[in-house]
């Protein structure tokens, strides 16, 4: 009996240990409205969200009075935390996987986290028509690469169209390695881009067939050599079989349409158009296919294909029934990732969308595009406790992130960050001084035999 | 929706009157910037100038009335550095007129190459920006940099409205843009995150320092030559021949024209300040990212600072994550006069938000607002004309439905020199066109 | 006919050596080092004992080992005998490699591919369009076919106490098969202890342009190459059994080379690259040895857990000499420089098997000095010595032949006048296959000939 009581007590104590209650804040659930209330987090998941909740004894209380609470921000398109981004030497580089390049110690992860981003989709670059495999991860700063990966998510592949692709294989484009002069990489036009993509999926279909034939032979008991596994075509077959998503970098309406027609031809679904700055011109067609669009808030004029870009792009596409998200495309540093909340405010300015519609574009919409909305993207019971606490309305320029939880664990706390600063400085100073001291000691003592 | 109707109604009003640059905005919340906000106040504009500001303004005769109920009136926003009008599509050389060849180009005047029909101008205006310091320097040197040149030319202050650049002009030679050479050793200054491919191209500190010293020497010599020219001219020396480069330097040497010195880090700032003192020239620092120990000296010496975008990442790996956000507040608190510049075209419309980004991280709201209005006017020597809503100043005004430093706020009306300005742009036109696509 | 002419020249002016006639070109078939301190590595230290060598093999060792009749004698009083040292990742013996040896594992960072080293990219480069072009691959090349007794670096290595090296062709992505070699011998072939030490792989593109141009491209290429090899093996096997139904596979030397590989050597400087490489090797279904391992001090647990042996690069990172004085270095960088020399101690404490490499080090003696630094930071001397001897032999599967002073092993020995890690200690002689070599004179220009008092300083200052 005593043992049983003890066990029970331990159990409840443990349970309370894993329980956090974010109390009395303005909760922007994104999907279920905004209200004054509390969130109970248990074992990394959201257990309850309501105006009044049941607080278990021993739970950690986070007072959110006067503060704003929203789901962790999801960046559908970034390039941070990768040790390499492009394998641009060939036009189809689907064999490479940026997940292998995930560098969990890159400071950008922390900076993005401090800006409220809890899930990031780091993509292969746009140097070639069919790029590499992408990586979806959570900004669990301090974990190793494996620990960052968003488990259970469908994998995805990058496709790119237009100027970057044309430029990368072309010596005038710069950035390409020695020998490029004699070795121009096809394609150099949008027509060629279409060809490369259609050809790749055609080859993938043939490869898929080869395997099916082999399987059939084996089933018949024939002695047959299996086809050779081709790491380039495997991911394309996964796309044909609906097991992998596509993120397609595109700008102009004609090329967006072109790509959609290839997808129709090969019956490919699960596409999100990236940047898609002229998406507003073909919003109807995008909506008809049920594809997603992930765009910038207000980028334009940096190149010819961005000349017709308008900040109303997201709003028009949204109004015409396209699932729209906003992304950062950060590569050098996590810059825009730190303020996707105010980027979202721009769809209110340009196009008059509501607060919820704006926040959806950096939370639930990208989650849906990446088919991870059953886990993240809103504050709902049962979802991962990926939560950001702001001191003010996150759509205001005057708001800043105070705390970030991922899977119910606090990964960022502004006060801690500030109090930690002097310690870090001191540690650095200590190491520098130590090194100089050693250098001084081991310097040649001018005992040169003369 | 309601506010949009109000906008249309309000915009149609000025068109009714006979004289466009004379009107009264009434019942609005007026933010003069130079003095506290006034509720239920009016602004009287006569012949393009602010004739009166206050809660009770007597108006003689018939005047166009703009109903400002629920609206706010601010001075037009000033961008203290942008190549707007000189650069249309960043990646197309043919559309870019910044960054002339040669080390010393003081004779160049940016405004004369400004395309008044640039698509960027209406886009930027839509967010409340009424005037810009147009920088001649190229983009190659990074934010606020001047490309390859040391002296890239004269920065012109202009209104973002006019049929010709002459009509847009406020001050042709408002400053001289000069880039203080930095010691560029290593692939990237800092934590060595650059991939080894870059590292292979690294220059050593000694090499970089030598190059930098040579460049500084060039600047010294150029100023020496300019001074000799000045002396030769004033003394009427025999055989004196005019030279446009040195002619353009005369207002700099006499202290009439400030130098906009692009200097990002403490070392460049320190060198530039010391140099300017010796040369006895007036300087404004631009593109400052880290003033460090120089901060107090800048305050003491009244050297203003034009900040580049706060929308950037910390300089060093170990810097606090909010380092770019806290910088404006730190400078302002130390007593340094700050203003903001977009140093670009595509994001120039976000200038007001570059200032407000610093507010949650220590910059006072009032200072943020000043940094894009009155401070800028003071720094560029035009505080008697623009930068605040005061009697006698040019009527560069914006009427908004809220705080112009907040993204959600809409600019409902704009007046430049008292003239109503169209807030439509390529963007709004395409918006309407494609929203209506069947 | 073992020619030991370089040694003979030194004998002439050295009073130490008890061999009678320097002109005698033959090696004594039976030799005993008597009354020496013997550090066996495998079985502790014998304070006063004898090592007996017959025909280049250790036949007896111990305090009570008797000197057989007819044996030549080395009086070991005041001397210490160690097993010969092994450079576990080397290019010694391959004269062509002496010019430029890339050291990709140095420094921090994620190990992104470096630009081709100067001097490396001189041959005309071919444009690679995919894995089928086998970019930067010479998996068919064997160090065993390249080693030469004439490599001038051998003498210097022996002078520092090294008697063996595991030497690799290192160019490109897959340099070729390494060989365990002795650092002396009459013929090239005689130097080879084991011709199949593993495939050396690097993630620095070289020798080609085009694919793969990124680190991830290189990983993908390695994977595809191993898949191709496995398929090739299967095709050959199936064809042998059923030539009627299975097409005859086309001969592919690159894949033959892969299939011959016993293990792969992959670079990993930090925990991030370590995880990547352990996974890669797993996908390749190959035993792996990681090399570089600069940040070994924070990789120990995971290395232990995955049972991965490592070859440490002991050229400890140092501050850039000509750096900007106002440059701010990251805490991370400072930490790496501070802690890198502690790696051996940390790895030893965790029970990770590690050996050391001369990679990036010009003076072989500096390898020992580098380990001395680690000893000062807590590495046990036994562990340091083991890394230089038996661990290296074990990693490459040659512990039956090398790495300790035991009966039956090759008589590779270093004889010193004191503790190996004491910088004042001099190597008196080394034995390779039982053949004695004397160290080269350390200060050839010393006017009085007695300048050996400060050998270390003078060597360092000359660099």
Mind listing the pLDDT tens digit for each residue in A385-434? 999 999 999 999 999 999 999 999 999 999 999 999 999 999 999 999 99
Q: What percent of chain A has pLDDT over 90?
A: 88
List of E strands, B337-387: 338-340
Same domain, C108 and C56: no
Same domain, C44 and C99: no
pLDDT of residue A18: 87
How confident is the model over B11-20, as a mean pLDDT? 49
- The two tokens of residue B378 are 């003071």
What CATH number did the domain enclosing C434 receive?
Answer: 2.30.40.10
CA dist B247 and B107 (Å) reads 8
Cβ neighbours around A330 below 10 Å, total: 25
Exposed, middle or buried by CB within 10 Å (0-12, 13-18, 19+), for C344?
buried
Instruction: Tell me which of C18 and A138 has the higher pLDDT.
Output: A138
Same domain, C178 and C247: yes
**Quick check: C210 and C135 in contact, CB under 8 A?**
yes
Terminal C-alpha separation, chain A: 88
Question: Minimum mean pLDDT among A120-124, C280-284, C456-460: which range?
Answer: C456-460
Same domain, C419 and C351: no
Q: Of C112, C325, C328, which is closest to B316 when you measure between CB atoms?
A: C328
pLDDT band at A17 (very low <50, low <70, confident <90, very high): low
pLDDT at A447 over 70: no
- The two tokens of residue B22 are 């004379």
Same domain, C312 and C197: yes
To test the contact with chain B by mutation, choose from C119, C321, C326 the residue with the greatest count of B C-beta atoms within 10 A, namely C326
Q: Per the domain annotation, does C407 fall within a domain?
A: no
pLDDT at B379 over 60: yes
User: A382: which residues sit within 8 A by CB, 6+ positions away?
Assistant: A45, A46
Domains of chain A (ranges, CATH numbers) = 1-72+378-422 (2.30.40.10), 73-376 (3.20.20.140)
Mind listing the pLDDT tens digit for each residue in A261-274? 999 999 999 999 99
CA dist C216 and A132 (Å) reads 9
pLDDT at C393 over 80: yes
Domains of chain B (ranges, CATH numbers) = 1-75+387-438 (2.30.40.10), 77-386 (3.20.20.140)
CA dist B148 and B140 (Å) reads 7
Same domain, C91 and C207: yes
- The two tokens of residue B10 are 């309000």
> With helix as H, strand as E and coil as C, how does C332-393 read?
HHHHHHHHHHHHHHHHHHHCCCEEEECCCCCCCHHHHHHHHHHHHCCCCHHHHHHHHCHHHH
Question: Minimum mean pLDDT among A189-203, A290-304, B173-187, B365-379: which range?
Answer: B173-187
Question: Is residue A187 reached through a cis peptide bond, with omega within 30 degrees of 0 on the bond before it?
Answer: yes
The Cα of C111 is separated from the nearest Cα of chain B by a number of Å equal to 8
Chain C residues within an 8 Å CB radius of A88: 213-214
pLDDT at C110 over 90: no
Look at phi and psi of residue B340 and say left if phi exceeds 0, alpha if psi is from -120 to 50, else beta: beta
pLDDT of residue B258: 98
Find residue B151's DSSP bridge partners: B104, B178
- Is C114 within 8 Å of B206 when comparing Cβ atoms? no
- The two tokens of residue B37 are 């906000």
How confident is the model over A82-111, as a mean pLDDT? 97
Same domain, C26 and C143: no
Domain count of chain C? 2
- Is A301 within 8 Å of B312 when comparing Cβ atoms? no
- ipTM exceeding 0.90? yes
Q: Per the domain annotation, does C400 fall within a domain?
A: no
Q: Per the domain annotation, does C405 fall within a domain?
A: no
Q: Of B191, B200, B265, which is closest to C330 when you measure between CB atoms?
A: B191
pLDDT at C26 over 70: no
3-class secondary-structure state, position B229? helix
**Nearest chain C residue to A444, by CA:** C457
Mind listing the pLDDT tens digit for each residue in C55-94? 999 999 999 999 999 999 999 999 999 999 999 999 999 9
Longest pairwise C-alpha distance within chain A: 88
Chain B residues within an 8 Å CB radius of C107: 196
Q: How many CB pairs under 8 A join A and B?
A: 117
pLDDT of residue B21: 87
Question: Is residue C212 reached through a cis peptide bond, with omega within 30 degrees of 0 on the bond before it?
Answer: yes
3-class secondary-structure state, position A284? helix
pLDDT at A448 over 60: no
Phi/psi of residue A242, each to 5°? 75, 20
Same domain, C430 and C333: no
| Mutual angle of helices B244-253 and B205-234, in 10-degree steps | 90
pLDDT band at A61 (very low <50, low <70, confident <90, very high): very high
Q: Does B270 touch chain C (CB under 8 A)?
A: no
pLDDT of residue C96: 82
Mean pLDDT of the residues in chain C: 86
Exposed, middle or buried by CB within 10 Å (0-12, 13-18, 19+), for A274?
buried
pLDDT at C121 over 60: no
Q: In this structure, what DSSP letter does residue C145 have?
A: G
Question: Minimum mean pLDDT among A94-98, A443-447, C232-236: which range?
Answer: A443-447
| C212: Cα within 13 Å, side-chain hemisphere | 35
- Looking at chain B from residue 176 to 205, which residues have their Cβ under 8 Å from any Cβ of chain C? 183, 185-186, 189-193, 195-197, 199-201, 204-205
Chain C residues within an 8 Å CB radius of B267: 326
pLDDT at C15 over 50: no
Find residue A50's DSSP bridge partners: A38
Question: Minimum mean pLDDT among A222-231, B139-148, B359-368, C329-338: which range?
Answer: B139-148
How confident is the model over A290-318, as a mean pLDDT? 97
CA dist B280 and B104 (Å) reads 19
Q: Per the domain annotation, does C278 fall within a domain?
A: yes
pLDDT at B310 over 60: yes
Q: Per the domain annotation, does C401 fall within a domain?
A: no
Decide which of C336, C360, C395 is a domain's last residue: C395
pLDDT of residue A444: 60
**Quick check: B160 and B125 in contact, CB under 8 A?**
yes
SS3 content of chain A, % helix, strand, coil (to 5): 35, 20, 40
pLDDT at B191 over 90: no
pLDDT of residue B278: 96
Mind listing the pLDDT tens digit for each residue in C203-212? 988 889 999 9
Q: Per the domain annotation, does C139 fall within a domain?
A: yes
pLDDT of residue A410: 98
pLDDT band at B173 (very low <50, low <70, confident <90, very high): very high
pLDDT at B1 over 50: no
pLDDT band at C323 (very low <50, low <70, confident <90, very high): confident
Same domain, C67 and C11: yes
Q: Per the domain annotation, does C404 fall within a domain?
A: no
Mind listing the pLDDT tens digit for each residue in B216-229? 999 999 999 999 99
Which position has the token pair 């086809």?
A: A227
What CATH number did the domain enclosing C361 receive?
Answer: 3.20.20.140
| Mutual angle of helices B205-234 and B266-279, in 10-degree steps | 20
Find residue B43's DSSP bridge partners: B25, B53
Mind listing the pLDDT tens digit for each residue in B97-145? 999 999 999 999 999 999 999 999 999 999 999 999 999 997 543 434 4
- The two tokens of residue C446 are 């010393």
pLDDT band at B59 (very low <50, low <70, confident <90, very high): confident
Q: What percent of chain B has pLDDT over 90?
A: 83
Instruction: Find the domain containing C70 and state its range.
Output: 5-83+412-442
pLDDT of residue C442: 60
Q: C interface toward B at CB cutoff 8 Å?
A: 104, 107-109, 112-115, 322-333
CA distances from B348 to A300, B141, B282, B312, C250 (A): 11, 18, 27, 14, 62
- Partner chains of A (3+ C-beta pairs under 8 Å): B, C
pLDDT of residue C440: 79
- Is A223 within 8 Å of C220 when comparing Cβ atoms? no
Model-level pTM? Answer: 0.91
CA distances from A292 to A317, A336, B430 (A): 10, 21, 21
pLDDT of residue A445: 53
Same domain, C119 and C28: no
Instruction: Identify the top-confidence range among A70-84, A155-169, C9-23.
Output: A70-84
Chain A residues within an 8 Å CB radius of B91: 163, 302-304
**Quick check: C271 and A144 in contact, CB under 8 A?**
yes
**Quick check: B338 and B355 in contact, CB under 8 A?**
no
Q: Does A448 touch chain C (CB under 8 A)?
A: yes
Same domain, C329 and C343: yes
Same domain, C240 and C281: yes
Pairing of strands A271-275, A292-295: parallel
Question: Minimum mean pLDDT among C257-266, C433-442, C446-455: which range?
Answer: C446-455
3-class secondary-structure state, position A270? coil
Q: Of B183, B267, B317, which is closest to C332 when you measure between CB atoms?
A: B317
- Is C214 within 8 Å of A86 when comparing Cβ atoms? yes
């Amino acid at each position: 009996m005593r043992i049983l009581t003890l066990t029970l007590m331990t159990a409840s104590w443990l349970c309370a240990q894993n329980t956090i209650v974010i109390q009395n804040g303005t909760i922007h659930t994104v999907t279920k409205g905004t209200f004054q209330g509390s969130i109970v987090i248990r074992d990394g998941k959201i257990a309850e969200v309501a105006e009044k909740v049941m607080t278990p004894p021993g739970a950690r209380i986070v007072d959110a009075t006067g503060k704003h609470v929203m789901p962790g921000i999801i960046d559908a398109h970034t390039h941070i935390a990768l040790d390499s981004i492009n394998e641009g030497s060939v036009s189809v580089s689907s064999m490479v996987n940026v997940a292998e390049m995930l560098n969990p110690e890159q400071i950008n992860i922390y900076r993005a986290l401090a800006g409220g981003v809890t899930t990031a989709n780091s993509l292969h670059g746009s140097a070639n028509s069919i790029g590499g495999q992408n990586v979806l991860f959570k900004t669990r700063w301090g974990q190793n690469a494996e620990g960052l990966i968003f488990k259970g998510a469908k994998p995805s592949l990058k496709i790119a169209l237009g100027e970057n692709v044309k430029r990368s294989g072309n010596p005038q484009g710069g950035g390409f390695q020695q020998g490029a002069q004699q070795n121009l990489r096809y394609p150099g036009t949008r027509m060629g881009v279409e060809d490369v993509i259609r050809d790749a999926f055609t080859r993938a279909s043939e490869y898929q067939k080869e395997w099916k034939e082999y399987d059939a032979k084996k089933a018949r008991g024939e002695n047959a050599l299996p086809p050779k596994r081709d790491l380039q075509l495997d991911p394309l077959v996964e796309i044909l079989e609906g097991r992998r998503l596509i993120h397609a970098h595109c700008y102009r309406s004609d090329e967006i349409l072109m790509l959609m027609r290839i997808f129709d031809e090969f019956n490919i679904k699960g596409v999100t158009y990236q940047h898609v700055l002229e998406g507003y011109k073909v919003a109807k067609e995008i909506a008809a296919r049920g594809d997603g669009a992930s765009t910038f808030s207000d980028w334009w004029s940096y190149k010819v294909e961005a000349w017709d870009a308008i900040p109303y792009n997201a709003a028009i596409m949204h109004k015409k029934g396209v699932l729209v998200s906003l992304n950062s495309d950060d590569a050098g540093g996590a810059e825009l990732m730190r303020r996707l909340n105010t980027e979202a405010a721009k769809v209110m300015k340009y196009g008059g969308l509501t607060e919820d519609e704006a926040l959806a574009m950096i939370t639930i919409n990208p989650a849906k595009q990446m088919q991870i909305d059953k886990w993240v993207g809103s504050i709902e019971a049962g979802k991962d406790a990926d939560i950001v606490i702001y001191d003010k309305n996150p759509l205001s320029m005057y708001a800043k992130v105070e705390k970030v939880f991922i899977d119910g664990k606090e990964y960022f706390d502004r006060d801690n960050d500030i109090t930690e600063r002097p310690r870090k400085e001191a540690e650095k100073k200590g190491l520098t001084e130590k090194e100089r001291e050693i250098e001084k000691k081991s310097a040649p003592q001018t005992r040169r035999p003369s | 929706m309601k506010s949009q109707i109000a906008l249309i109604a309000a915009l149609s009003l000025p068109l009714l009157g006979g004289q466009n640059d004379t009107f009264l905005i009434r019942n609005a919340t007026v933010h003069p910037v130079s003095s506290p906000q006034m509720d239920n106040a009016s602004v009287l504009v006569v012949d393009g100038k602010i004739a009166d500001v206050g809660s009770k303004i007597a108006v003689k005769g018939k005047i166009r009335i703009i109903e400002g109920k629920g609206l706010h009136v601010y001075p037009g926003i000033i961008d203290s550095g942008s190549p707007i009008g000189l650069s249309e599509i960043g990646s197309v050389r043919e559309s870019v007129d910044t960054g002339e060849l040669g080390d010393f180009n003081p004779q160049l005047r940016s405004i004369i190459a400004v395309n008044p029909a640039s698509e960027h101008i209406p886009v930027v205006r839509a967010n409340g920006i009424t005037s810009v310091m147009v920088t001649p320097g190229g983009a190659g040197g990074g934010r606020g940099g001047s490309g390859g040149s040391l002296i890239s030319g004269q920065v012109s202050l202009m209104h973002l409205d006019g049929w010709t650049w002459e009509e847009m002009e406020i001050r042709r030679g408002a400053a001289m843009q000069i880039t203080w050479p930095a010691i560029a050793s290593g692939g990237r200054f800092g934590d060595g995150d650059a991939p080894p491919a870059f590292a292979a191209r690294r220059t050593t500190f000694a090499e970089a320092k030598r190059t930098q010293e040579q460049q500084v020497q060039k600047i010294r010599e150029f100023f020496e030559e300019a001074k000799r020219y000045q002396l030769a001219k004033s003394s009427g020396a025999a055989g004196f021949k005019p030279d446009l480069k040195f002619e353009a330097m005369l207002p700099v040497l006499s202290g009439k024209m400030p130098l906009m010195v692009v200097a990002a880090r403490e070392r460049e700032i320190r060198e530039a300040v010391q140099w300017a003192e010796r040369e006895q020239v007036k300087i404004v620092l631009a593109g400052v990212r880290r003033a460090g120990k120089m901060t107090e000296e800048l305050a003491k010496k009244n050297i203003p600072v034009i900040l580049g975008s706060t929308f950037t990442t910390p300089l060093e790996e170990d810097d606090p994550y909010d380092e770019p956000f806290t910088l404006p507040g730190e400078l302002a608190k130390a007593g340094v006069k700050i203003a903001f510049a977009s140093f670009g075209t595509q994001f120039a419309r976000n200038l007001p938000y570059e200032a407000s980004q610093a507010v949650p991280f220590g910059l006072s709201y009032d200072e943020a607002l000043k940094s894009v209005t009155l401070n800028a006017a003071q720094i560029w020597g035009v505080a008697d004309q623009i930068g605040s809503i005061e009697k006698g100043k040019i009527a560069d005004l914006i009427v908004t439905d809220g705080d112009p430093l907040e993204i959600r706020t809409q600019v409902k009306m704009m007046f430049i020199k008292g003239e109503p300005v169209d807030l439509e742009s390529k963007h709004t036109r395409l918006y309407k066109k494609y929203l209506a696509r069947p | 006919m073992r020619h030991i002419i370089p040694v003979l020249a030194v004998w002439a002016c050295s009073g130490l050596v008890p061999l009678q006639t320097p002109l005698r070109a033959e090696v004594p078939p039976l030799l005993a080092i008597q009354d020496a301190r013997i550090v066996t590595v495998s079985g502790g230290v014998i304070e006063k004992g004898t090592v007996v060598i017959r025909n280049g093999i250790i036949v007896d060792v111990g305090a009570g080992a008797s000197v057989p009749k007819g044996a030549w004698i080395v009086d070991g009083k005041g001397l210490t005998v160690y097993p010969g040292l092994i450079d576990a990742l080397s290019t010694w013996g391959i004269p062509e490699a002496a010019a430029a040896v890339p050291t990709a594992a140095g420094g921090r960072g994620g190990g992104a591919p470096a630009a081709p080293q100067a001097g490396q990219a001189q041959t005309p480069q071919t444009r690679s369009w995919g894995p089928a072009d086998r970019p930067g691959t010479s998996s068919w090349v064997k160090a065993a076919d390249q080693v030469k007794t004439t490599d001038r670096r051998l003498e210097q290595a022996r002078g520092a106490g090294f008697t063996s090296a595991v030497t690799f062709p290192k160019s490109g992505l897959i340099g070729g098969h390494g060989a365990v070699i002795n650092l002396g011998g009459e013929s090239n072939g005689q130097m080879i202890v084991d011709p199949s030490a593993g495939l050396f792989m690097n993630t620095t593109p070289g020798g080609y342009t085009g694919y793969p141009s990124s680190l991830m491209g290189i990983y993908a290429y390695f994977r595809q190459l191993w898949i191709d090899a496995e398929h090739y093996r299967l095709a050959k096997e199936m064809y042998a059994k059923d030539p009627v139904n299975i097409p005859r596979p086309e001969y592919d030397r690159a894949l033959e080379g892969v299939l011959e590989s016993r293990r792969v050597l992959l670079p990993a400087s930090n925990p991030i690259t370590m995880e990547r490489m352990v996974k890669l090797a797993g996908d390749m279904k190959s035993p792996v040895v990681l090399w570089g391992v600069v940040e070994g001090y924070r990789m120990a647990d995971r290395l232990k857990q995955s049972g991965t042996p490592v070859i440490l690069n002991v050229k400890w990172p140092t501050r850039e000499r000509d750096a900007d004085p106002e440059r701010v270095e990251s805490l991370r960088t400072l930490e790496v420089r501070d802690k890198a020399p502690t790696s051996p101690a940390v790895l030893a404490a965790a029970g990770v098997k590690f050996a050391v490499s001369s990679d990036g080090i010009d003076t072989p003696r500096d390898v020992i000095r580098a380990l001395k630094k680690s000893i000062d930071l807590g590495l046990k001397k036994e562990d340091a010595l083991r890394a230089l001897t038996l661990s290296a032999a074990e990693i490459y599967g040659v512990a039956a032949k090398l790495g300790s002073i035991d009966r039956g092993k090759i008589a590779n020995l270093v004889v010193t006048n004191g503790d190996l890690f004491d910088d004042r200690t001099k190597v008196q002689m080394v034995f390779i296959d039982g053949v004695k070599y004397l160290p080269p004179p350390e200060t050839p220009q010393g006017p009085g000939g007695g300048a050996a008092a400060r050998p270390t300083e003078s060597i360092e200052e000359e660099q």
